[in-house]
Chains A and B, each alone.
Chain A
Amino acid sequence: MNIFDFFRERKKETTASIAKERLQIIVAHERGQRSKPDYLPALQQELVEVIRKYVNIDSDQVQVALENQGSCSILELNITLPDR
């Protein structure tokens, strides 16, 4: 390595640091997914069926999300009703 390489190296991001950054992002994302209980998709499906008895909606018009804030969990339901 000569003196010019030395200065060039500093600016360039190494492939290892790119790997670390990518891993940090994907691992954090997957850990977030993991903490969700696995009954959520079934819950969503059953809710859609119940609502469909009364209102005609598509399955993607019900969103179910579970958030943890400290000691309490918030189950958030977002149902978009069709225009009349």
Chain B
Amino acid sequence: MAKILVVTSGKGGVGKTTTSAAIGTGLALRGHKTVIVDFDVGLRNLDLIMGCERRVVYDFVNVVNGEATLTQALIKDKRLENLYVLAASQTRDKDALTKEGVEKIINELRETFEYVVCDSPAGIEKGAHLAMYFADEAIVVTNPEVSSVRDSDRMLGLLASKSRRAELGEEPIKEHLLLTRYNPERVQKGEMLGVEDVEEILAIRLLGVIPESQAVLKASNQGVPVILDDQSDAGQAYSDAVDRLLGKEVAHRFLDVKKQGFMQRLFGGRE
């Protein structure tokens, strides 16, 4: 049975697309046939982060309108055998998506894929609503910062009341917290909310903590999901998060300040 995952946050710029790309790629790396779907109609970016922006011919809206088949619109990843991307339309406006249209495509994707990762747009408007409506599980991406935490809580409220599962009275969407752009040094100094603080406020299961990392920008520059940079802290943290998503018990890493060696401290060494 296919699983529909939504990556959502409410607030923009917290790392939804980076996370969708990383988690989707991580699932495919572990042998699961996965598709990552961009729901940000008008402002698509998943194609850039995945490095397939020049191979987009047909998009989500073309398939909804019957202008292309799903097979034509799915972009196969060049690196991984069982990874696909469905791009959002760049030229249409947000109203191009309807609940019926999205449902039809999701049901079709369910037949061929094990995981459908829905990359939600920011906000709580139609696009964000449709991205989460059919979800079985939600990854709520949050930065350790007041506006992001508040928006995440608002999003949790919507997941619990405005989703298909909520409307049909089915088992609620399984919610996971993913804390991104975490800076242990600033947490230690009392300048940034700690992981326990955010967990206490939002009260949902912690899927992972992704440290603020230079690897994320480097990866997006090149169109490579950061999880494929297995030497980087962010890549490893995403990898752990995927394992936890699949039910493995993995200890959290990168929560504490790295101990600097004497020479590093002396010369202010940086990675």
Contact = CB atoms under 8 A, between A and B. Distances in A.
Interface of A: 14-17, 19-20, 22-24, 26-27, 30-31, 34
Contacts of B94: none
A50 B192 CA distance: 53
A36 B154 CA distance: 14
A24 B198 CA distance: 10
Contacts of A31: 153, 157
Interface of B: 145-146, 149-150, 153-154, 157, 161, 187, 189-194, 197, 200-201
Given A14-B190, A15-B190, A16-B191, A30 B153 contact: yes
> Do most interface residues of chain A lie in helix, strand or loop, or is the interface mixed?
helix
Contact of A19 (B146, B153, B161, B189): B146
User: 10 nearest interchain CB pairs?
Assistant: A14-B190, A20-B197, A34-B157, A16-B190, A27-B153, A19-B146, A23-B201, A16-B193, A23-B149, A19-B193
A15 B192 CA distance: 7
Nearest to B197: A20
A53 to B, nearest CB: 35
> Do most interface residues of chain B lie in helix, strand or loop, or is the interface mixed?
helix
A34 B155 CA distance: 11
Contact of A16 (B150, B187, B200, B201): B187
Given A31-B153, A34-B157, A15 B191 contact: yes
28 contacts: A14-B189, A14-B190, A14-B191, A15-B190, A15-B191, A16-B187, A16-B190, A16-B192, A16-B193, A16-B194, A16-B197, A17-B190, A19-B145, A19-B146, A20-B193, A20-B197, A22-B146, A23-B146, A23-B150, A24-B201, A27-B149, A27-B150, A27-B153, A27-B201, A30-B153, A30-B154, A30-B157, A31-B157
Contacts of A23: 146, 149-150, 193, 201
Nearest to B192: A16
A27 B154 CA distance: 8
